[in-house]
Amino acid sequence: MNNSVSTPTSAAAVLDQLRSRSADPTRRILLTGAAIVTMDPELGVLPHGDLLVEGRKIVAIGPDLRSEGTADGALVIDVTGAILAPGFVDTHRHAWEAQLRRIMPDVNDLGEYVMSTLSGIAPAYRPHDVYVGTRLAALTAIDSGITTMLDFSHNSRTAAHSDSAVEALIDTGIRGVHASMRPHFGAWDGQWPADLSRLKEQYFGSDDQLVTLRLATLATDEIAGPDLAYGDRLARVARDLGVGVSVDAVFGVPSSNAIVSWAKNGLLGPEVSLIHCTGLTPEAWQAMADTGTAVSLAPTSDAQIGLESAIPAIDEALAAGIRPGLSIDVEVALASDMFTQMRTLHAIQRMRAVNGAYGTTATPSRIGVRDVLDFATLQGARSIGLGDVTGSLTPGKQADLLVVRAEDLNNMPLNDPIGTLVLGSDPRNIDAVFIAGEVRKWAGTVLDVDLPALRDDVRESRDHVLQTARNA
């Protein structure tokens, strides 16, 4: 007997039914009639199909699940005219900075950012300010279709600062990774990295939870001294805790030399993600490839702030056989969404490929829209240790997915679903976001957010931080 629930007649009615059984692990949701971009190499793209969620996971994908009897008992949601896609994965964002958005849009170089933000403003942050910034960043991520965000939290001045960052991720419902690091400059309690043990015990006791833990560090001692440079001591901390490592500020000859040394000493592997990777030597890339080390690119950050060569290292990564993840980095100077990262990387790489072959008989080697979507989803998840959990629409994985309107003014008519996602869409087209089967954005609005109260919190926090920094 088919017990499927008929599609309710309004978005509000659908939402009521979605939320009425949100705690039921057997609740079934059938999304039907969409073009499905799975990013699963075996499943590919379904021009018109159905996707079934049970509890937190995707359980089936096919052209017509209702006729197969697979969807019995499901709440049926007609998403005809939309694209179903995996949620984006942001592999590196300094979320605490969000209330400083675009405060220095024309930043000249890394040094200017470091001295202004990390040295000048960061010491003024209270735990409450870390909470406000991280929450704002995570809610914005959800709004723009990012279902997983690694928060490279490098302002952990006290245990309370770290707690605030973790609790902000939990409170938003995002799939978050708290990558913990002490501040670069200013007073702090000296609790890091020892405090990671407490964090793990207090917040990360289960393997099946949305927010997970990671160690964050820097490549070398150039910016903030030797205590933050990745090496034997910090690798041992991560191994003892059983967590991965994200290494920021990886660029140039000093980082290249460090990478070769890490490889020789057994400190690299798939559990380590290296961020930026601009201006690295061929020897460093070979060491990364040989050890299966992950890479996170920050296309707008590399180009706009001008990190080392200022060219996102996509060609170098692909030449070494590494498919990278993508990241936002710092909102003080950059865009907040993954669409911008994909388009920036797509345009820069193709421009360079054609320019390099110009005036010769060579054929340009160009990436395509599927590549950058792969980087923004599946490869991003793999690069931060979540490839078995999210990053593609695959039965058995968590239901982290987007419903993107393909018949909006800027997207119609739908001719190529991947091309539409990468080159046509933006956050306004994201009708719904599900994370682990829970609806977090619906009918174009992020749920459970009191926007006036949030605006007040953000403004108060920003004003306090800037005034305190000015008076220091």
Structure token pair of residue 175 = 């799939």
Distance separating alpha carbons of residues 455 and 92, to the nearest angstrom:
25
The model's pLDDT over 211-236, given as tens digits with 9 standing for 90+, comes to: 999 999 999 998 878 999 999 999 99
Rounded to the nearest 10°, the torsion over CA 40, 45, 48, 54 is 10
Is the pLDDT reported for residue 183 higher than 80? yes
H or E segment to which residue 83 belongs: strand 82-86
Radius of gyration of the chain (CA): 22
Sign, Cα dihedral of 92, 97, 98, 104: negative
How confident is the model at residue 90, as a pLDDT?
Answer: 98
245 - beta bridge partners?
Answer: 215, 272
Helix, strand or coil, per DSSP, at residue 221: coil
7 pLDDT band (50/70/90 cuts)? low
What residues are paired with 90 via a beta bridge? 149, 326
Task: Please give the pLDDT value at position 3.
Answer: 37
**Long-range contacts of residues 420-426, Cβ cutoff 8 Å, at least 24 apart:** 420/83, 421/37, 421/83, 421/85, 421/369, 421/373, 422/339, 422/342, 422/343, 422/346, 422/369, 422/372, 422/373, 423/343, 423/346, 423/369, 425/339, 426/337, 426/339
Residue 9, pLDDT score: 60
Task: Specify whether the CB–CB gap between 201 and 236 falls below 8 A.
Answer: no
Q: What is the pLDDT of residues 284-311, one digit of tens each?
A: 999 999 999 999 999 999 999 999 999 9
* 235-249 confidence digits (pLDDT tens): 999 999 999 999 999
Count of alpha carbons within 13 Å of 261, Cβ hemisphere only?
12
Burial of residue 42, with CB atoms counted within 10 A of its CB: 0-12 exposed, 13-18 middle, 19 or more buried: exposed
Give the tens place of pLDDT for each residue, 367-401.
999 999 999 999 999 999 999 999 999 999 999 99
Q: How many CB atoms lie within 10 A of CB 193?
A: 21
CB 95 within 8 A of CB 151: yes
- Amino acid letter at 152? F
Report DSSP state, residue 10: S
Residue-wise pLDDT tens digits, 395-418: 999 999 999 999 999 999 999 999
Rounded Cα distance, 343 and 428, in Å: 16
Q: Is 242 exposed, middle or buried (0-12, 13-18, 19+ CB in 10 A)?
A: exposed
pLDDT in tens, 339-363: 999 999 999 999 999 999 999 999 9
Residues 458 and 103 sit within 8 Å (Cβ to Cβ): no
